[in-house]
Amino acid sequence: MRVGVLTGGGDCPGLNAVIRAVVRKGVKVHGFDFVGYREGWKGPLEGLTMELGIEQCRGILPRGGTILGSSRTNPFKLDNGVERIKDNLAKDGVDALVAIGGEDTLGVATRLADLGVNVVGVPKTIDNDLSGTDFTFGFDTAVNIATEAIDRLHTTAESHHRVLVVEVMGRHAGWIALHSGIAGGASMVLIPEQPFDIEDVCTKVKDRFRSKYAPIVVVSEGAVPMEGGEMTLVSGEKDAFGHVRLGGIGDRIAAEIEQRTGAEARAVVLGHIQRGGTPTAFDRWLATRFGLQAIDAVAEGDYGKMMALRGTRIDRVPLIEGTGELKLVSDEEYAEAQVFFG
């Protein structure tokens, strides 16, 4: 059997660990051979391939990024996209595909599975917003990077009696802000699921200054103020999946805090630092186990499934369970962080 592998969407730490596990078990246990599709769905769409075997996977376990490359290509937005993918898979002699991606890449996989393509999905995203799985890989690494940044920002904020606003990734879901904010002892965590009142933020900032500590406000890039209720955009331009580029909410909040409280406030944007570099041990473990289960699903012909962490088990769920609806932070989970605000 010949299996194609691709990684799509924003990269995240652990992609290479999945590829390695898929290939190692595929070759050693199932006797499969592989073709690597480069740059997400652009690979099978345009016939961009690379050799993929045990040799190509040596040494990649701790490496960030993806040896296959990635893109945000949406075949459903292109003329004859699906036919071109089907033709190229047939031309390459590929019987099944392992697609590693987030809501967009696996959204495409869900639709292709309905159209008869033999595909299994592995959930990746630092945002942790895919349903059906307790965690996606990449999230733990992003949270650790953000937490370390918050720890460092505490000491400099205290030395200068400044407010520091830390902008983290999270377009629709505030998981990174919530987990790193709790772990890092933030004075306030602002997430897309809970529109914030800037006056309330300023009250909490003043409260924190009454202690000997300085306020750290952690904000997801997709957070929205109650007043004016709009996301803060870098540009209005949309990608192939209709997403605008977010950014700037940290600066906006810092400026408001300065103006309303008189305290000096600065913003720090963590950006792609959260997505780059070596994965944590947890993400390597999760990515590896997802990869092992994905190639077993292929071997069993169990297509149209997404790998899912449930407790400590790796289960398979229908792709639509992962991609149908985003997994958002609930009111109860947000309330846990609120105990520490101010």
Is position 72 annotated in a ligand binding site? no
Catalytic status, residue 302: no
CB of residue 271 to ligand F6P, shortest distance in Å: 8
Three-class DSSP category at 234 = strand
Amino acid at 46: E
Nearer to ligand F6P, 271 or 301 (CB): 271
* Closest listed residue to residue 136, CA positions, set 181, 103, 178: 103
Q: Which stretch binds ligand F6P (CB under 6 A): 55-63, 78-86, 166-174, 296-304?
A: 166-174
Binding marks (x or -) toward ligand F6P, 73..112, rule CB under 6 A? -----------------------------x----------
Could you say whether residue 169 binds ligand F6P (CB under 6 A)? yes
Contact partners, residue 200, CB within 8 Å, separation at least 6: none
DSSP line for 61-82: TT--S-TT------GGGSTTHH
- Active-site residue identified among 104, 127, 140, 283: 127
Binding marks (x or -) toward ligand F6P, 251..280, rule CB under 6 A? ------------------------x-----
CB of residue 270 to ligand F6P, shortest distance in Å: 11
Contact partners, residue 50, CB within 8 Å, separation at least 6: 35, 36, 38, 56, 68
208/204 Cα distance (integer angstroms): 6
Is position 210 annotated in a ligand binding site? no
CB of residue 325 to ligand F6P, shortest distance in Å: 16
Is position 221 annotated in a ligand binding site? yes
Could you say whether residue 245 binds ligand F6P (CB under 6 A)? yes
232/187 Cα distance (integer angstroms): 22
DSSP 291: H
173/168 Cα distance (integer angstroms): 11
Is position 158 annotated in a ligand binding site? no
How much is the CA Rg of the chain, to the nearest whole Å?
A: 21
Q: Which stretch binds ligand F6P (CB under 6 A): 47-55, 125-133, 177-185, 308-316?
A: 125-133
Could you say whether residue 246 binds ligand F6P (CB under 6 A)? yes
Is position 102 annotated in a ligand binding site? no
The phi, psi pair for 43, rounded to 5°, reads: -60, -65
Nearer to ligand F6P, 30 or 243 (CB): 243
Contact partners, residue 63, CB within 8 Å, separation at least 6: 16, 278
Q: Which stretch binds ligand F6P (CB under 6 A): 24-32, 48-56, 124-132, 303-311?
A: 124-132
Of the residues 4, 10, 132, 192, which one makes contact with ligand F6P according to CB under 6 A: 10
CB of residue 170 to ligand F6P, shortest distance in Å: 6
State the Cα torsion 94-305-179-229 to the nearest 10°: 90
Q: Tell me how crowded residue 58 is: count the other CB atoms within 10 A of its CB.
A: 9
Of the residues 39, 127, 140, 167, which one makes contact with ligand F6P according to CB under 6 A: 127
Could you say whether residue 136 binds ligand F6P (CB under 6 A)? no
Give me the numbers of helices (H) and strands (E) for the chain, helices first please. 11, 13
* Closest listed residue to residue 84, CA positions, set 138, 57, 59, 48: 48
Interface with ligand F6P (CB under 6 A): 10, 102, 125-127, 169-171, 221, 245-246, 275
Binding site membership for substrate: which residues? Answer: 125-127, 162, 169-171, 221, 266, 272-275
Annotation: binding site for diphosphate: 10
Residues in binding site? 10, 103, 125-127, 162, 169-171, 221, 266, 272-275
**Would you please indicate which residues are annotated as catalytic (active-site) residues?**
127
Residues annotated within a binding site for Mg(2+): 103
